[in-house]
A = this chain, B = another copy of it.
Amino acid sequence: MNDNSVTQPVSDELVQRFSQIVGTAHALTDEGDIAPYVHEERDLFSGRTRLVLRPKTVDEVSQIMKLANETRTPIVPQGGNTGLVGGQSPRSEAEVLLSLSRMNAIRDVDVAGRTLIAEAGVILQHVQEAADEAGLMFPLSLGSEGSCQIGGNLSSNAGGTGVLAYGNSRELCLGVEAVLPSGEIYHGLRRLKKDNRGYDLRDLLIGSEGTLAVLTAAVLKLSPKPAGREVAYVGLASPEAALNLLKLAEARAGTQLTAFELMPRIGMEFTIRHTQGARDPLEAPHQWYVLMEISSSRSAEDARATMEAVLEAAFEAGDVDDAAIAQSLADAKAFWRMREELSWAQKPEGGSIKHDVSVPVALVPQFLAEAGLAVLKAIPGARIVSFGHMGDGNIHYNISQPVGADKEMFLARWGEMNDIVHGIVAGLGGSFSAEHGIGQLKRAELAKNKAGIELELMHRIKKAFDPYSILNPGKLL
């Protein structure tokens, strides 16, 4: 409905006019130069474009959008190109790719106010490092943090492993600067904890996947660094046991429980098989694992004491079968690596049908039980790698093909598996897109799932911001 009907490749004349805004050195037209911007890591979307623009300033972005608006040229904003739903991929030579990667200045670090102003193109890890240098912490953390950019994080309301204690990207941002499709600049770089002046435009722009405006900078909330942090690798029999452990940890540690990640045995096996140096931190195998992190604002000893108290109580309650507490920073890193490599370790095992779902936390075990039965009934031998942020009710419900199955034939059942898994999720009041967003991948699903007034309102909002649908057309809506 809001899809843009422009299909003609951008003309030579327009390529030239756009290029003049950023300077020819920063307007890429060579296929080789363009390749890294249109190649998407899961190979689900093959992007195409004639032109990649790399502006340095918000004024250049404004000029680009003005010209695009006048000439009805579709613009696809892109950060670190790490999105998993094709939101950042241009679909044809009619679309111009707008890379924010040169807008990579950290404009301000305010230690007393605990805020940092980053331009959209700052790599997440660089934000983390700048916070660290200031004696503070930026708690957003995800697998691609070495290459994803803060503008993309906010555009997709990125989650990750820190959500449990610190919230999603939306909760970590106090204000944004953005360029509208018209080229007008929204100056919203506010550093206020309370501000009730009208509608919440900030939270509307965050998570809108570049369809309403181009985010160019943001005020990010920093947190005090914990004085101590402990990581444990826990073996358990079932998701029910993991839920009991979670409740126990929340009761004892409160907001100091800073990560609670669930992993199945098969995921661990994939990682050990395909990742150099990976090893099981526990002696015997277990059906399920939890990576649990507890932080303390007081001291390392305090974090350790809380971790030990939680594990002791869980052992006594019979919920935990074995557990190892990291004895060094190297241990902690190795534990976390087992979790992080899980995403990549599925690739060598053949086709993988992926879901990014959430349900109310207390229903995670029920979801896993119901979905497991249904999936194995449909595809006997399928290997279910369901892992993720259990503390947020967010499970990456991935299905690896049966050993020896035909990859293409297996992947052809993606839609069928979606229907099964998302059907169960819907029945539990859950979401078929917990943290990755909609992009191109789940656009049809959104249209199906949000039929009625909710989708209609989203279309009306899109039109209110972008009447000619020049901003990231064919994404989200």
Contact = CB atoms under 8 A, between A and B. Distances in A.
Interface of A: 110, 112-113, 115, 156-157, 159, 163, 168, 170-171, 180, 182, 184-188, 190-201, 203-204, 206-208, 212, 224, 247, 250-256, 297, 358-363, 389, 392-394, 429-438, 446, 449-450, 452-455, 457-458, 460-461, 463-465, 476-477
Contacts of A201: 454, 457-458
20 contacts: A110-B360, A113-B362, A170-B203, A171-B171, A186-B457, A188-B454, A190-B429, A193-B358, A193-B394, A194-B389, A195-B433, A196-B431, A196-B434, A197-B438, A197-B446, A200-B203, A254-B297, A460-B465, A461-B461, A461-B464
A393 B221 CA distance: 14
A194 B433 CA distance: 8
B435 A194 contact: yes
Given A191-B429, A200-B206, A186 B247 contact: no
Given A200-B207, A460-B465, 12 more contacts: A112-B361, A113-B362, A191-B429, A192-B360, A193-B358, A194-B358, A194-B393, A195-B431, A198-B450, A201-B454, A201-B458, A463-B464
A227 to B, nearest CB: 9
Given A195-B358, A362-B112, A224 B458 contact: no
Contact of A464 (B195, B452, B455, B457): B457
A268 to B, nearest CB: 24
A347 B100 CA distance: 54
A182 B159 CA distance: 35
A457 B187 CA distance: 13
A363 B436 CA distance: 37
A67 B94 CA distance: 46
A194 B197 CA distance: 26
A188 B452 CA distance: 12
A58 B255 CA distance: 36
Contacts of A200: 157, 170, 200, 203-204, 206-207
Nearest to A251: B224
Contacts of A393: 192-194
A399 to B, nearest CB: 20
Given A186-B457, A204-B203, A168 B197 contact: no
A190 B432 CA distance: 13
Contacts of A432: 197
Interface centre among A204, A247, A250, A359 (most CB of B within 10 A): A204
Interface centre among A170, A194, A224, A394 (most CB of B within 10 A): A194
Contact of A112 (B247, B437, B463): B247
A251 B112 CA distance: 11
Contacts of A207: 196, 198-200
Contacts of A194: 159, 163, 168, 358, 389, 392-394, 431, 434-435
Contacts of A362: 110, 112-113
A186 B463 CA distance: 19
The 10 closest A-B pairs by CB, nearest first: A254-B297, A460-B464, A112-B362, A203-B203, A195-B431, A194-B434, A184-B453, A193-B392, A191-B360, A113-B362
Nearest to A430: B192
Contacts of A455: 198
A15 B286 CA distance: 68
A371 to B, nearest CB: 17
Given A195-B434, A199-B458, A453 B180 contact: yes
Contact of A193 (B187, B197, B361, B433): B361
Nearest to A456: B184
A361 B465 CA distance: 32
Contact of A449 (B197, B247, B394): B197
A136 to B, nearest CB: 11
A376 B389 CA distance: 55
